[in-house]
A and B are shown apart, each in its own frame.
Chain A
Amino acid sequence: MTSASPMISVKNLWKVFGSNPDQVIGTELASLTRSELRAKTGNTVAVRDVSFDVAPGEVFVVMGLSGSGKSTLVRCMTRLIEPTAGELHFGNEDVLSVDAKRLRELRRTKFSMVFQHFGLLPHRKVIDNIAYSLEINGVEKDARHARANEVIELVGLQGYGHAYPDQLSGGMQQRVGLARALAVDPEIMFLDEPFSALDPLIRRDMQAEVIRLHHELGKTMVFITHDLAEAVKLGDRIAIMRDGAIVQIGTPEDLVMNPANEYVANFVKEHPKSHVLTIRSIMRTPGTGEELSEIALAPQTTVKDAARSVVGSTRPLRVVENGQVIGIVGHDEILRAIAGTED
């Protein structure tokens, strides 16, 4: 998925908390584990030598358990926390070297953030929460309210513009958070565990909402989560973090089918493989004279999604890419994939 000019480029990013972080990076201390380093120097490595690119329009998920450094990473990328070392580019702009004024400009126009605990301003109405960025950027009241009403509609909060945040349910509050992040029409959105504080049912709605918004608006998104199901559902690619470092980056299918190490394997073990396995990897070449169904599937369809159509047809289905038949899937393939992978 990485294209020639990435929207976000992170190179060798470090964040070391402690009194003397510079003594760590680039020395032999950098190779110590977290606890060894803390015992030796009192410093804590929160982000360790992280590099990745995010393509325009991609949803890039960073996944890890609590303490893995994912929240610190996203805060380094928005410079809410200053990274200790490394490079960070948005497009051609070197984000780590911009001054405070330009950084504010970037925050007001180029990227925005959605927080786990919403971060709404309790003393402002919904509409004024959403219009806040525009307000501090000097946009006139009528214009910013007009824009705020647009995004209120976009996230389905019609009629709640004049309510206060604490009068809304958690799910609705996070819709305000989303609307606020969308109000400035940013190129990049950072979402820091936006749905972790919500009930499972509401969470599912909100995930669907993000998928819808992404389809409609095509924003580049960096999405932080500790929930593998959520990561798989939303992410074009997923980075798995542990102890501050990235263990593996890949598509959901990559991670589930080819875990880089035991840690990732343990992580994805419980995840139903049919949810990530695509038919591209199970299709076969058609036998001579084999009769095929009229139905065609895209190669990136997951086994789970393909299963119903395949089972409903007596003949194998064609897998079509760019108008070309590149393979077929029949009952056998689907059954073998499900039987062989679900454990």
Chain B
Amino acid sequence: MTLTTSAPSEVKKSSKNKYIAALVAGFLVCATFLHGRATLFLDPSTNTSFHSWLNSISDWITFHRTSNPFLQIVVEGIRSFINGLVTFTQNLISQGSGNRSTPIIGWLGVVAIVVFVTFVISNKKIALLAAAGMTSLGLLGYWTESMQTLALTLGAVVLSLLIGIPVGVLAGIFPRFEKLLMPLLDFSQIMPTFVYLSPVTLFFLIGPASATIVTLIYAIPPVLRITSIALREVSTASVEAGISMGSTKWQMLRKIQVPLAKRTIVVGINQTIMAALSMVTIAALINAPGLGQVVLSSLQQLDVGRSFVAGLGIVILAIVLDRSTTAAAAKVEEKEPTEQSKRIRRITVGISAAITAAAVAISHSVTWAATFPGTGVIGQHLSNGVSSASAWLQDHFSNVTNAMTNIVSYLFINPLQWLLAETPWYIVGFAWIALAAIIGGRRVAVISAICIAGIIGTGLWSDTMVTLASTFVAAFITVILGIVMGVWIGRNKRADSIIRPILDAGQVLPAFVYLVPFLGLFNASRFTAILAAVVYAAPAAIKLAADGIRGVPAGMIEAGIAAGSTPWQMIIKVQLPAARRGIALATNQGLIYVLAMIVVGGLVGGGGLGYLVVDGFSQETYFGKGLAAGLAIVLLGVMLDRISQAVAKKNPLQQG
């Protein structure tokens, strides 16, 4: 690494800006004169030969499922194992089995178990919250669906932890193994959740097995990554002391490293649970049963009320799971209490266990405790209320919402789409590669070129550009929001203490539920998808920007104040420039999150690649096309990630 002094890098930067300006100008000129040519537009009903080829692979797999040894033994083996597991958890809490019309454990038993477990792993307050939350699921009229979601989530979480924690421990001890895993984990993190779905269904068919596998892919990385970090972050003092006293590797792990990493590992478990819940709801697209299914079907029927109530159910489940595991992580830190309080606790736990067992037994056989009583009238009322509120809003404020939709559409989305999707592909492609080269150098340019070639290969260039236009608009709004809010809460401790918990809560909610309120206000449109994407991506962007602002050295701030800066000058001339790296990171994360949500927005009129993915699940003829769309999303994601990361890397905090 060579350190350049600030003078030459200033020169380089200004010439860089000149290149970019020239590039943009050239691009605009070309776009104007060559408008509408070579756009590679593909009619929605047309399959390219690549799509047909993918279809034929799918056909081949279907045809050979029972004859090909790999498919028969490995794929079908995994599928039936997971199906068995899912059937077991479903029989346990959400469906009848054998000659039973109700699950083995009825609602009362489930509520009792959840309350008991939250009480043991966290505390009384959270246990009460869990009781209220679980009961309200029944009152909303979605007990069975909630249990389907919970059963799928728990199955996936158990498998995720069984795989993620041991592998994470290995990665924590063996740095080389970790290095090997890193790109895989990074990749799974930048891939929008949506795109796992098609390739997995190719092998494991639509249904619970695929739903579980996609959930695993999404939910294993958090706990794996955090476990390995937790192990490596055990203080060197403790590790050195352990070695110096003659511990074997195994003793080190069992008696020192894992106990000290426990709290952080529980944080990882929390993230894995939340990721699993999020993915299980999205897996509704491949026929996973549960609340996601209700949200999905009502989104498709534009039934705002019903999707709201089911979405609320998901939020309640998310809150119960998140709060209890977060409290559990805090509890790990608590030291062993006194003998007396230990005895009292043992007695309380014993009594609660007995009550829980009784509740489970009753719920197994007595009807009122097995099936949640009532018909979900409350949920029905709520649904109707929300529907009419939405209708009323759309009636009375349609000029406002329409105006917003139109302004954003005509001012931003349409021009961008005009530029990106209706300009010859070679102009757009060249501009991209040139931009990548200017910002990130040769490596990033090569990666971008490969991605662009790949996207053209999928035959979905035009749809990709439509998605890209929406992504840019949403990312632009997200970054502006991120900087403004980030500056505010980065400078104001009080605002931070109020807003940050809201952002944290926002980050644990499954992506799906963000679509609901905007659908209620703005109907199905590209703008709805963009708004949902902004809300989905904003928490991460705001937090990163705020951390960047907060991270500006105190000495720099003092010097700024001492020089007599106004608050505004402070922000513009000191804090923002110094926090450039944090803001670049916020942009990077914002882009990745936005892309993930924009494609989900394909469900509510977002169009582009996301729509093709969804279409691929529902119509067999377009399966290959959906798969190709997934691939295009991945390529687009990689390209956006690399370029925006290059920006973050090229703008280090200039020190001294």
Binding site for B on A (CB under 8 A): 78, 80, 103-108, 112-113, 115, 117-123, 125, 132-133, 135-137, 164, 180
Task: Indicate if the CB atoms of B335 and A164 lie closer than 8 Å.
Answer: yes
Q: Is B45 positioned at the interface, with any CB of A under 8 Å from its CB?
A: no
Interface residues on B, range: 10 to 19
Q: CA A135 – CA B254 in complex, angstroms? A: 13
A75 shortest CB reach to chain B, Å: 8
CB-CB nearest in chain B for A125: B336
Sort A-B residue pairs by CB-CB distance and give the 5 closest, nearest first.
A119-B241, A107-B246, A108-B246, A104-B246, A119-B237
> Chain B residues with Cβ under 8 A from A121's Cβ?
238, 241-242, 255-256, 259-260
Query: A103, A118, A133, A136: which contacts B237 (Cβ < 8 A)?
Result: A118
Q: CA A180 – CA B248 in complex, angstroms? A: 18
Task: Indicate if the CB atoms of B335 and A105 lie closer than 8 Å.
Answer: no
Q: Is B344 positioned at the interface, with any CB of A under 8 Å from its CB?
A: no
Name 20 extra pairs, CB < 8 A, besides A103-B246, A135-B255, A136-B245. Answer: A78-B244, A104-B247, A105-B246, A106-B246, A107-B245, A108-B246, A115-B244, A118-B237, A120-B238, A121-B238, A121-B242, A121-B259, A122-B260, A123-B260, A123-B262, A132-B255, A133-B246, A136-B246, A164-B335, A180-B245
Q: Is B565 positioned at the interface, with any CB of A under 8 Å from its CB?
A: no
Task: Indicate if the CB atoms of B240 and A112 lie closer than 8 Å.
Answer: no
B253 shortest CB reach to chain A, Å: 12
Q: CA A105 – CA B31 in complex, angstroms? A: 76
Task: Indicate if the CB atoms of A136 and B251 lie closer than 8 Å.
Answer: yes
Q: CA A113 – CA B247 in complex, angstroms? A: 14
Task: Indicate if the CB atoms of A122 and B238 lie closer than 8 Å.
Answer: yes
CB-CB nearest in chain B for A116: B237
A198 shortest CB reach to chain B, Å: 15
Q: CA A136 – CA B244 in complex, angstroms? A: 12
B338 shortest CB reach to chain A, Å: 9
Known: A119-B238, A121-B238. A136 touches B255 (CB 8 A): yes
Binding site for A on B (CB under 8 A): 237-238, 240-248, 251, 255-256, 259-260, 262, 335-336
CB-CB nearest in chain A for B247: A136
Task: Indicate if the CB atoms of A115 and B240 lie closer than 8 Å.
Answer: yes
CB-CB nearest in chain B for A113: B244
Known: A115-B240, A121-B238, A136-B255. A104 touches B335 (CB 8 A): no
A194 shortest CB reach to chain B, Å: 13
Task: Indicate if the CB atoms of A117 and B244 lie closer than 8 Å.
Answer: no
CB-CB nearest in chain B for A134: B245
Q: CA A107 – CA B244 in complex, angstroms? A: 6
Task: Indicate if the CB atoms of B259 and A123 lie closer than 8 Å.
Answer: yes
Task: Indicate if the CB atoms of A80 and B244 lie closer than 8 Å.
Answer: yes
Task: Indicate if the CB atoms of B244 and A137 lie closer than 8 Å.
Answer: no
A121 shortest CB reach to chain B, Å: 6
Known: A136-B251, A136-B255, A164-B335. A120 touches B245 (CB 8 A): no
CB-CB nearest in chain A for B243: A80
Task: Indicate if the CB atoms of A104 and B241 lie closer than 8 Å.
Answer: no
CB-CB nearest in chain A for B251: A136
> Chain A residues with Cβ under 8 A from B262's Cβ?
123
Known: A121-B256, A123-B259, A164-B335. A112 touches B244 (CB 8 A): yes
Q: CA A112 – CA B243 in complex, angstroms? A: 11
A170 shortest CB reach to chain B, Å: 14
Task: Indicate if the CB atoms of A112 and B245 lie closer than 8 Å.
Answer: yes
Q: CA A321 – CA B297 in complex, angstroms? A: 102
Q: CA A156 – CA B98 in complex, angstroms? A: 68
A195 shortest CB reach to chain B, Å: 16
Task: Indicate if the CB atoms of B245 and A108 lie closer than 8 Å.
Answer: yes
Known: A121-B256, A123-B259, A164-B335. A115 touches B246 (CB 8 A): no
- Secondary structure type dominating chain B contacts: helix
> Chain B residues with Cβ under 8 A from A125's Cβ?
336
Task: Indicate if the CB atoms of A117 and B237 lie closer than 8 Å.
Answer: yes
Can you sample 29 A-B contacts with CB below 8 Å?
A80-B240, A80-B243, A103-B246, A104-B246, A105-B246, A107-B243, A107-B245, A112-B245, A115-B237, A115-B244, A117-B237, A119-B240, A119-B244, A120-B241, A121-B238, A121-B241, A121-B242, A121-B255, A122-B238, A122-B260, A132-B242, A132-B245, A133-B246, A136-B246, A136-B248, A136-B251, A137-B246, A164-B335, A180-B245
Q: CA A136 – CA B247 in complex, angstroms? A: 6
A134 shortest CB reach to chain B, Å: 10
Q: CA A330 – CA B237 in complex, angstroms? A: 52
> Chain B residues with Cβ under 8 A from A107's Cβ?
243-246
Task: Indicate if the CB atoms of B243 and A133 lie closer than 8 Å.
Answer: no
> Chain B residues with Cβ under 8 A from A80's Cβ?
240, 243-244
> Chain A residues with Cβ under 8 A from B259's Cβ?
121, 123
> Chain A residues with Cβ under 8 A from B246's Cβ?
103-108, 133, 136-137
> Chain B residues with Cβ under 8 A from A120's Cβ?
238, 241
> Chain A residues with Cβ under 8 A from B237's Cβ?
115, 117-119
> Chain B residues with Cβ under 8 A from A78's Cβ?
244
> Chain A residues with Cβ under 8 A from B242's Cβ?
121, 132
> Chain A residues with Cβ under 8 A from B241's Cβ?
113, 115, 119-121
A212 shortest CB reach to chain B, Å: 24
> Chain B residues with Cβ under 8 A from A136's Cβ?
245-248, 251, 255
Q: CA A121 – CA B262 in complex, angstroms? A: 14
Q: CA A73 – CA B251 in complex, angstroms? A: 26
> Chain B residues with Cβ under 8 A from A106's Cβ?
246
> Chain A residues with Cβ under 8 A from B256's Cβ?
121
> Chain B residues with Cβ under 8 A from A104's Cβ?
246-248
> Chain A residues with Cβ under 8 A from B247's Cβ?
104, 136
Q: CA A108 – CA B247 in complex, angstroms? A: 8
Q: CA A137 – CA B251 in complex, angstroms? A: 10
Q: CA A294 – CA B240 in complex, angstroms? A: 55
Q: CA A237 – CA B173 in complex, angstroms? A: 41
Q: CA A137 – CA B255 in complex, angstroms? A: 13
B266 shortest CB reach to chain A, Å: 14
> Chain A residues with Cβ under 8 A from B244's Cβ?
78, 80, 107, 112-113, 115, 119
> Chain B residues with Cβ under 8 A from A180's Cβ?
245
Query: B245, B248, B335: which contacts A133 (Cβ < 8 A)?
Result: B245
B249 shortest CB reach to chain A, Å: 9
CB-CB nearest in chain A for B335: A164
> Chain A residues with Cβ under 8 A from B255's Cβ?
121, 132, 135-136
Q: CA A164 – CA B337 in complex, angstroms? A: 11
> Chain B residues with Cβ under 8 A from A133's Cβ?
245-246
A186 shortest CB reach to chain B, Å: 10
> Chain A residues with Cβ under 8 A from B248's Cβ?
104, 136
CB-CB nearest in chain B for A177: B241
A145 shortest CB reach to chain B, Å: 16
> Chain A residues with Cβ under 8 A from B243's Cβ?
80, 107
> Chain B residues with Cβ under 8 A from A117's Cβ?
237
B72 shortest CB reach to chain A, Å: 47
Q: CA A119 – CA B247 in complex, angstroms? A: 14
CB-CB nearest in chain A for B245: A133
Q: CA A120 – CA B242 in complex, angstroms? A: 9
Q: CA A55 – CA B462 in complex, angstroms? A: 83
CB-CB nearest in chain B for A184: B245
Interface centre among A104, A106, A121, A122 (most CB of B within 10 A): A121
A298 shortest CB reach to chain B, Å: 38
A305 shortest CB reach to chain B, Å: 37
> Chain B residues with Cβ under 8 A from A135's Cβ?
255
Q: CA A135 – CA B256 in complex, angstroms? A: 13
A266 shortest CB reach to chain B, Å: 31
Q: CA A113 – CA B246 in complex, angstroms? A: 11
Q: CA A112 – CA B259 in complex, angstroms? A: 23
Q: CA A117 – CA B241 in complex, angstroms? A: 10
CB-CB nearest in chain B for A75: B240
Q: CA A122 – CA B243 in complex, angstroms? A: 16
CB-CB nearest in chain B for A129: B241
CB-CB nearest in chain B for A166: B335
Q: CA A135 – CA B245 in complex, angstroms? A: 11
> Chain B residues with Cβ under 8 A from A122's Cβ?
238, 260
> Chain A residues with Cβ under 8 A from B251's Cβ?
136
> Chain A residues with Cβ under 8 A from B336's Cβ?
125
Q: CA A108 – CA B251 in complex, angstroms? A: 13
